Amino acid sequence: MATDSNRFQAIISHCKEYGFIFPSSEIYDGLGAVYDYGQWGSELKKNIKDYWWKSMVQLHENIVGIDAAIFMHPTTWKASGHVDNFSDPMIDNKDSKKRYRVDHLIEGKAEELEQQGHQDQSEIILKEMDTLLAENDFDGIKKLIENNKIICSVSGTANWTDVRQFNLMFSTEFGAVSSDEEDNKIYLRPETAQGIFVNFLNVQKSGRMKIPFGIAQIGKAFRNEIVARQFIFRMREFEQMEMQFFVRPGTQMQWYEHWKAQRMQWHLSLGIPASKYRFHDHVKLAHYADAACDIEYDFPIGFKEVEGIHSRTDFDLKKHQEFSRKKIQYFDNDLDESGKPYGNYIPYVVETSIGVDRTVMMVLSEAYEEQDLSTEEKKDSRVVLKIPVHLAPIKLAILPLVKKDGLPEIARSLMNDCKPVFNCFYEEKDTIGKRYRRMDALGTPFCVTIDHQTKEDNMVTIRYRDTMQQQRIPLDQVKNIVKEAMDV
Ligand code: GAP
């Protein structure tokens, strides 16, 4: 049985063994902080994206979705501030040559202190770090690291360089021109949001959108993360689900609170209890924000950010207007309190930004259970993924008891009836017990067994993943039972 401390490793191994997530290009020993989704991981990921899209776009008449390109004009990133500001303070250990993000280094120390029972000291060091980072006091940060005797885990020394900023964007060249030319340098987008901002007018005008309205997008983002050792929590290539909500200036705080509540509601709708979530208000605001918080989930590695909610002011649209020299404004013909139209303005933006991969990790962390099923007579156990039905990669496993006597034919006919509606899995190998266990490990909520009796009475055995209870039901009810359970 996995203890709390090795639960995370157990989940990573499970993901690999059962076709959810593999290290990228593993035959070449993998690529740091890059992962591939396998046959079941990609189904889970797709279901999460579909669920987000449905709740954000389909269910909101004033939110539309787009799919912008990953490559964007390089000026985008100058305007957005990413060229100058999208960097993290880092420190190098002179002996091991290993580079660390200072906040991760200090958080690591704080965690160590907490584990040793020094809760007070842990809180003090974190508070001090927040203050120093908010003031960009890099000398102070270095002193904090030295005073707390933080050492490099590789060299074991505290021989540190000064703290410096490193940009996190990946760059590449565009077209067939020499790579030395700065002008041809383009970036892999570090957030999907800018694809929304540069299309604000296109969408607003072509869709005749009226403020307040939102534009949503799901897509890849890239960051050259320096410390990337927490499985799919911190990747160099990852996916975001973002929504920019455009509002009248002055109303942004009201919308910020609205989206905080809405997004928390979405998280709770995944069946995860409220006690596993918390809000974390930002002390050091990003260069574009006037308020920001994270929704954190209690991962096996502790409470960590899954989603960010940011009130981004009019920073981005204003900057794109300035750099593109194109007017990016909205004419609001609603009347203000004095009876005059609000007129032209640059909208303010409230953003919700959630990582797809972190959501996958959250769902898997919540779902993973190792159960001891031993009785006095025999030892037994199972690993089960209690994934919500609508997110589960496979909804229904169809299992003929034996490979003969006409049972596969009945099973195949059920498969053909159900597979256009939801994902099914057909399996006739191994004992039924082994097949059930395998489906538990993949998070399949329903298994249906076709046996000899089925030929007589058209009844099948349905087995429920979470309770392991079994029930005889009419064959022709199977599809509806699964369909109803998928409804959210
Ligand atoms: N547009 C705002 C933005 O990008 P962020 O807080 O930097 O804000 C939003 O990122 C979300 O993207 C995070 O809450 C996280 O879920 C996800 N994310 C960010 N960096 C990530 C990384 N390196 N690997 C995996 N997910 C990441």
Q: DSSP string covering 93-107, please?
A: BTTT--EEEHHHHHH
Q: What pLDDT, on a 0 to 100 scale, did the predictor assign at position 136?
A: 85
- Mean pLDDT computed over every residue of the chain: 94
User: Around Cβ 240, how many Cβ atoms within 10 Å?
Assistant: 22
Q: What pLDDT, on a 0 to 100 scale, did the predictor assign at position 175?
A: 81
CA angle 482, 483, 485 (to 5 degrees): 65
**234 CA from centroid of ligand 1 (Å):** 8
**Alpha helices (H) along 332-431:** 356-367, 407-418
Whether domain 87-166 has CATH 3.30.70.260: the reply is: no
CB of 209 within 6 A of ligand 1: the answer is no
Q: Which residues contact 454 (CB under 8 A, 6 or more apart)?
A: 407, 410, 460, 475
**2 CA from centroid of ligand 1 (Å):** 29
pLDDT tens by residue, 151-160: 999 999 999 9
Measure the N-to-C terminal CA separation of the chain; round to a whole number of Å.
32
Q: Which residues contact 92 (CB under 8 A, 6 or more apart)?
A: 98, 99, 100, 160, 161
CA torsion angle 207 210 212 218 (round to 10): 0
For 58, 347, 371, 378, the CA distances from 257, given in Å and listed in that order, are 22, 17, 40, 54
Residue nearest to atom 26 of ligand 1 (CA): 355
Q: What pLDDT, on a 0 to 100 scale, did the predictor assign at position 328?
A: 97
- Using the predicted structure, report yes or no on whether residue 177 has a pLDDT greater than 80: no
**354 CA from centroid of ligand 1 (Å):** 7
Mean pLDDT of 393-416: 98
Residue nearest to atom 16 of ligand 1 (CA): 355
CB 211 within 8 A of CB 314: no
CB 74 within 8 A of CB 186: yes
- Using the predicted structure, report yes or no on whether residue 266 has a pLDDT greater than 60: yes
- Distance separating alpha carbons of residues 280 and 293, to the nearest angstrom: 5
Confidence of residue 182 (pLDDT cuts 50, 70, 90): low
Pocket test for ligand 1, best of 191, 285, 313, 315 (most atoms within 8 A of CB): 191
Residue nearest to atom 22 of ligand 1 (CA): 234
CB 170 within 8 A of CB 202: no
CB 330 within 8 A of CB 246: yes
CB of 191 within 6 A of ligand 1: the answer is yes
Which of 100-109, 376-385, 387-396, 419-428 is predicted with the least confidence, judged by mean pLDDT?
100-109
Q: Which CATH superfamily is domain 394-486 in?
A: Anticodon-binding domain (3.40.50.800)
**223 CA from centroid of ligand 1 (Å):** 9
Helix (H) or strand (E) holding 349: strand 348-355
What does the block give as tokens for 74?
């390089």
Residue 242: phi, psi to the nearest 5?
-120, 150
**222 CA from centroid of ligand 1 (Å):** 10
Instruction: Give all strands (DSSP E) within 152-262, no chain letters.
Output: 164-167, 171-173, 185-187, 213-222, 237-247
Which of 25-29, 111-115, 237-241, 413-417 is predicted with the least confidence, judged by mean pLDDT?
111-115
Pocket test for ligand 1, best of 231, 240, 267, 360 (most atoms within 8 A of CB): 240
Confidence of residue 178 (pLDDT cuts 50, 70, 90): low
Q: Label residues 98-135 b or e (16+ Cβ within 10 Å = b).
A: eebbbbbbbbebbeebbeeeeeeebeebbebbeebbee
The fold for domain 4-83+168-364 equals BirA Bifunctional Protein; domain 2 (3.30.930)
CB of 384 within 6 A of ligand 1: the answer is no
Q: What pLDDT, on a 0 to 100 scale, did the predictor assign at position 181?
A: 56
CA angle 32, 35, 36 (to 5 degrees): 150
Q: What pLDDT, on a 0 to 100 scale, did the predictor assign at position 285?
A: 85
Q: Residue 70, class by beta-carbon neighbours within 10 Å (0-12 exposed, 13-18 middle, 19+ buried)?
A: middle
What does the block give as tokens for 412?
């195949």
Confidence of residue 226 (pLDDT cuts 50, 70, 90): confident
- Distance separating alpha carbons of residues 110 and 103, to the nearest angstrom: 10
Confidence of residue 440 (pLDDT cuts 50, 70, 90): very high
CB of 368 within 6 A of ligand 1: the answer is no
- Using the predicted structure, report yes or no on whether residue 3 has a pLDDT greater than 60: no
Which atom number of ligand 1 is nearest to the Cα of residue 233?
Answer: 25
Mean pLDDT of 67-80: 96
Residue boundaries of the structural domains of the chain: 4-83+168-364, 87-166, 394-486
CB of 354 within 6 A of ligand 1: the answer is yes
Q: What interhelical angle do 478-486 and 407-418 show, nearest 10?
A: 40
Instruction: Pick 175 or 171 by higher pLDDT.
Output: 171
3-state secondary structure of 181: coil
CB of 190 within 6 A of ligand 1: the answer is no
Confidence of residue 1 (pLDDT cuts 50, 70, 90): very low
CB of 223 within 6 A of ligand 1: the answer is yes
Confidence of residue 4 (pLDDT cuts 50, 70, 90): low
CB of 408 within 6 A of ligand 1: the answer is no
Helix count and strand count (H, E) for the chain:
16, 23
Which atom number of ligand 1 is nearest to the Cα of residue 191?
Answer: 4
